[in-house]
Amino acid sequence: MYQSKKIIAFDLDGTLTESKQALTADVAEALVALSKIKKVAIISGGSFQQYKKQFLPYFMEFTNGADVSFENLILMPTSGTEVYEYDKIKKDWLLTGHEIFPEEIKKKVREVLARFVASNKYGIPAESWGERVEDRGNQITLSALGQQAPLENKKPWDPDQKKRQIMKAELEAEIPEVSVSIGGETSIDVLPKGFNKAVSLERLIKKLGYTISDLLYVGDALFPGGNDYAVIEDHIEAVEVSGPAETISEIKKMML
C-alpha cells in the first residue's frame, strides 16, 4: 500500500503530536527521513504561527541544513485554507494558496460561539486558559477551555465528542453558510461552506500532477464529524492512528 504512494498527508494534533504540544524528537526524525523519499503534507486546524512554534523548529533539528526535506514538505494550516511551500532561493516559507472566508459570515460565527461560551448548556467551564474564540483569518476556532489549557484538563472534558457534536449541529443549523468539524481535545473548527481537508488535499494533488490514488492520509479524527472525516467521505485512502507512537510505527512501514 505504502510503496505506491507519492504523497503522505498527516494531521498534526493527535497524530504527530499531542494537542498543541511540541513535535518530539522521534517523530521529527521519522518525518525527516520520510520527506527524503516522498512528498509530505502536514494539515492542521492550527495557524501557521502555531506550526512555527510546535512543528518547524523540531523538524529542522534533524534536517542537518539540507533543503531536500523542506522541498518535499508542504504545510497546510487552518485545515488547508492556507498552503505554505518552501522557496529554496529565498530560504523561506511562502504562502502559495489561500481560501477566502467572507467577513460578514465570520461575524455571525463569532457571535454564535460567544453565546455558546456564555451559556451553561454545553458544559464549558467558567475558567479559561487564554482566548476561547480565535479568528485565524480563514478559519474560526472555538477552544472550549482556552487556547493554552493544560493537556490534563483538556483530555477529560469531551472525550466522546458529544458536547461538540451538539454545538456543531446547532451552529450549522443557525449558520448554513459554514462547515464545522471537531478537532483536538476541545476544539471546533469553522470554515467556509463546503471547504474541508479533503477539498484542500484534492487541490494540492491536482497542482502537483498527482491523482487521488497517489495520496495517503494519516489522522486520528476519522470519526463522523471529526476534522479528518472528510477524507473518508472523499474516498481518500486513510490510516487511523491513536497518537504519535502509532504514527511512528506507520512511518516505519512507509520506509520499507
Residue 66: the pLDDT is 60
Residue 184: the pLDDT is 87
pLDDT digits (tens, 9 = 90+) for 45-67: 999 999 999 999 999 888 876 66
- Beta sheet of 140-143, edge-to-edge order: 133-135, 140-143, 187-192, 178-183
Give the mean pLDDT of the chain: 93
Residue 3: the pLDDT is 79
Compute how many other C-beta atoms are within 10 angstroms of the C-beta atom of residue 58. 18
Contact 27, 159 (CB under 8 A): no
Q: Which grid cell sits at 214?
A: 497517489
Q: How far apart are CA 119 and CA 125, in angstroms?
A: 10
How do the domains of the chain map onto residue ranges? 7-99+195-254, 103-192
Residue 256: the pLDDT is 81
Residue 61: the pLDDT is 86
Q: Tell me the average pLDDT across 101-109.
A: 96
103-192 belongs to which CATH class? Answer: alpha beta
Residue 70: the pLDDT is 85
pLDDT digits (tens, 9 = 90+) for 205-243: 999 999 999 999 999 999 988 889 999 999 999 999 999
With cut-offs at 50, 70 and 90, classify the pLDDT of residue 19.
confident
> Phi/psi at 218 (nearest 5 deg)?
-125, 120
Contact 227, 164 (CB under 8 A): no
Q: What's the CATH number for 7-99+195-254?
A: 3.40.50.1000
Q: Has residue 245 got a pLDDT over 70? A: yes
